[in-house]
Every structure is written in structure tokens, then in C-alpha cells.
Structure 1
Amino acid sequence: MSSTPALPTSFFDPVLSLPPQQRLRWYMCVVVSLSSLNYPDVIPQVYEHLDTHLFSTLSHDDRFTYARQLREGLIKSTGIVGAARTGNAMRALSRFIPDNLRETESPRSQESDEAARARGKAFWTRIYERNKAFDPQATVRASPDYAFVVREILYGRVFSFNGVIDDLTTGYVIVSALYGMDCPNQLAHHMKGMLVNGASREDLKRLQDLCLGLARTLGVSFRHGPAPIPTSPSE
């Protein structure tokens, strides 16, 4: 069994200068990337740093909100990474979160399928409607049932749920997961989706540097090179 690699202190230096909400998003992207890269055993190092440098400065209510958002990032990444790796990551994280920062019920279970599907359709449309390189019928031609699962279930129940994190943060989660999965075609589309939801090209470059830098730190190599960063959603 291989040993758990240690992230160097220097890896965390960039997060220390960020404001609290952006700091949480940075930690979230790292946790999602570690799940996608299949390094769930490194997640406790990230949570320890988060606990020391962010949670210790917050009220209990803010810590609860941020812990909930961190879990939500992993939940949404399930649609990219899959249940197995996400489950390993969620359990690794859960061992270090105290009981008073845990939820006791599922907010998704409290909404109707109709509401979730309508929201998912709207979210899917916002991401893809301005993207000239995206063929909306390609997935249907490949498999109508797969298209149903993606659009009605993943977008409805997973990606578009906005009760915990917003659409832009969801984009950060999806793109972080796609870097770890080495999926340049989907990366290209979802980076454009992030631009639609308010990200800048500089934001995308910083996220790319973070995800690929983490992979290099862990000694992970990819088959494909990174997808080019788009300048607009329609290119």
C-alpha cells in the first residue's frame, strides 16, 4: 500500500491572502480535485489547514455554513467524478468535521422532481446556449437514455441545486473535477459556462494553475494537455 503524500507548506501560501469566501472556494476546489485524482487520504491535510487558517476566525454559524458548502462541493462533483471516489472523499472529510458542523437532513429530498427538472433545464441552457462549439443533439444521438440521466437527473438534482452554493461556485467545482478526470472536451464547455456565470478569463487561469499545480505536487501526469482557456462563451 502506497504512503500518503504530504502537501508542502508552500502549496497553501496563495490561499492565505484571499478573503474568507474566496478562501473557502480555494479549499473546496482542492478537496474536489483530490477526490477526482483519487487522493482522498490527502484531504485531512487540507481540512486541517482550513480549520486553522479559516474556521478558527469564524463564528459557529459561519463555520456551519462553510462546512455545508464544502460538502456541497463534493456532492456536486459526484456528477463528474462518480459515487465511488466522491464517497471515499466525503468519508475522509467527515472524520474530521465535528458533530456541531454536520447536517441532519437532505435539503434536496424536500423539493419536487418538477421543480428540480425545471431548474436543471434552465441551468443547462445557460451553460450551453451561447456555446457555438457545443452540439446539443450529440448526446441524444449517442444515447437518449444517457441524455435523460444527464439533463433530467444530474442537472436537475445535482448540478443546478442552488440551496447551498451558487452557479459560479458550482462551475468551479465542475471544472476542478474535470481537471482531475483529464477530460479536455468537457473542460472547454464548462469553462465557457463559468464565463456565462460571471467568471473572468483570469479566474479560469488561476483555477487551472491550482488544479494542475496540485497534480504536479502529487506526481500525477495526464494523457491530454490542458484545454485552452476560452475568451468568450461563444468561441
Structure 2
Amino acid sequence: MTLVTAERLVKLSQYKHLQNSWYYIAATALATCNQPEEISKIYHMALQMTKKDFIANVDTANEAIEFGMKVREINARNYVRTRKYQLDVPIFDLSNTISKPNFNAKLITLKTKEALLKSVPIGGLPKFINAMIDFHNSVPENLLYDKGYESCRSFIIKADSIKKEREKGQDLWNLVYGKIAQKVASNISYSSKDLWEFILYHVYSSLLSYDKYLAKNETSLVLIACLIPQDVNPQLKGHLRGALNTGCTREQIESARDMTIEICQWCGVKWKDEVANLKPKL
């Protein structure tokens, strides 16, 4: 059963206030809903949008879907690529940097991978293993990550960096939860000190606070997309407010919430209660 049709793909790519973030938010939501095979469509639509004179319509969405299927098939079967196929692969300008306003193809690739990685402890390891493998099989050869991506971060923490990393994790926790940061931490620690230390040292410190590819506000949108499908309003409420603290606009948060809910509905997700939202502005 096809969930992300060409029409739906166009709609996702045009969500207001999410022009530069829609694709990794959608990919996170689909992975959390255990629909990894749909991520390729999102990713390749985002790549199509880097082309000059791109117009989002059903035709360009179908091109993205078809090209993604072609790449996945070749990668999955480990075909030896011919020069002719290499020429068929769009050559994207990879010279842009993060500071430039338009995301290039390689940055889209890196941000999508980073969003999936940061979602692992929030959405569940098995689902995100499948999502990461499926996503990797969707990446054209000329956009596969070089060794620099993997080697620039390490979860084997050196002794001299532990203190700095943990301070960075604590700072992010305090920023997200603001005035109630200590109260939330105490509640978790009271139930299980091991759980609190795992969250701080291995989720916030070594994973979420890493901001080379996703800034703090971008990570907040990823967490919202990962929490909504799981029907966990207490945590979602904290991260909706936390997204404001990390620099997201109210409009970005509401659009990310709305888009994730729509994706969840396509996937058949049901909630016990209404999905939490930001409190109205006073």
C-alpha cells in the first residue's frame, strides 16, 4: 500500500514555515510510524527541489518517486554502475555551505541522516535501524557520505572531552526545559537514577547536543515529529515549549505538529487523547 503519493508529496513539500526542514521532519515521522520505505520519496523530492527552476507539482513528485525507486533498486542489488548510469544521476552543486540560505543536495542528505540518528533513543532502535538502512539505499552514489561524516563524531568518548560534552548536554537540557529543568530531572531521577544519567550522558550529551548538522532548533522539530506518533503527551508538551526555547517560531512548531499529525493519519495512527499543542499566546 502506497502512503506517500505524488499528491501528498507535493503537499508536504509546500508546508508553510517549513521550507528548509519539511523533509527531515517528514522522514522522522515516517520512520517512527514504521514506514521506512516511504522515506526515499521524501528525500528525493527534497533533492529535486535543489534544481534551478523547480516547480512542485505531481509531475515533479512522480519524477522524484521514480528516481528514488531506481536508486534503491540499483543500490540494493549492488549493481556495478556504468558510465552511462553515472551520467543519468543528477549532478548537484555541493559547493554551498551551511551558512548559505539554500540547502544543497549533500546537506539535505546529511540532515536527513542526522535526524534519523538523533531519533533512535526517542523512537526506538529497531525501527530506526530499518529506516537508516532503507535511507542509505536511497542515496545516489555521488551523494554517499565520505569518511569525514563518520569520523567527525565519535561515541567512544575520550577522557578529556567527557566534561565538556556533559556540560553541553546539561546546557541543552536546561535550555529545553527552562524554569522546570531541575524539577523534571528530579522526577526522573527519583524514579530511576540510572535512567536520568542515561538520558543526560548518552542522549542529551553525546547525541542531541551535537549540532554540526542540525542546530538546536532543528533538533527540536525532529523530536516533536518523533514524539507525536507515540501518543506521549507529557513528553510532547515539554518539547513543544522547549522548541520555543531553542529558537523555533510558534508558526514552525505548529506547522511541524500539523504535518506530523497528517502523516500519522496516513499511517493509521490513533491517539487516546487530542495531540498536545502549544498553549495560546497570552
TM-score interval (norm. to shorter)? 0.7 to 0.9
Q: CA RMSD in A?
A: 2.5
Match of 1:60 in 2: 94
CA-CA distance at 1:147 after TM superposition: 0.3
Of the three residues 172, 186, 203, the one matched with 1:137 is 186
Instruction: Return the alpha-carbon distance in structure 1 between the equivalents of residues 205 and 279 of structure 2.
Output: 26
Matching residue of 2:22: 26
1:6-45 matched pairs, under 5 angstroms: 6-17=3-14, 22-45=18-41
Hey, what does 1:95 align to over in structure 2?
Answer: 137
Structure 2 unaligned blocks of 5 or more:
53-91, 96-103
The residue aligned with 1:49 is 45
Q: Report percent identity of matched pairs.
A: 21
How many residues of Structure 1 are paired with residues of Structure 2 in the alignment?
Answer: 228
Tell me the SS of whatever aligns to 2:138.
coil
- Contact 1:34–1:40 (8 Å) recurs in 2: yes
Runs of 4+ in 1 over 6 A off after TM superposition: none
Offset at residue 153 of structure 1 (A): 1.1
Contact 2:172 2:204 (C-alpha < 8 Å) held by counterparts: yes
Distance 1:67 1:125, change over 3 A: same
* Aligned equivalents of 1:188, 1:113: Cα separation in 2: 30
- Distance in 2 between residues matched to 1:30 and 1:17, nearest whole Å: 12
Correspondences of 1:1-235 after superposition (within 5 Å):
4-17=1-14, 22-52=18-48, 54-57=49-52, 59-61=93-95, 62-101=104-143, 102-104=145-147, 105-109=150-154, 112-131=161-180, 135-231=184-280
TM-score of the aligned structures, taking structure 1 as reference length: 0.87
Determine the C-alpha separation between the residues in 1 that align with 2:127 and 2:108.
22
Higher CA-based Rg: 2
Q: What is the deviation of 1:223? A: 2.8
Contact kept, 8 Å, 1:201 with 1:231, in 2: the verdict is no
Judged with a 3 Å threshold, the aligned counterparts in structure 2 of structure 1 residues 198 and 143 are, in CA distance, closer, same or farther, namely: same
Structure 1 CA distance, aligned partners of 2:146 and 2:270?
36
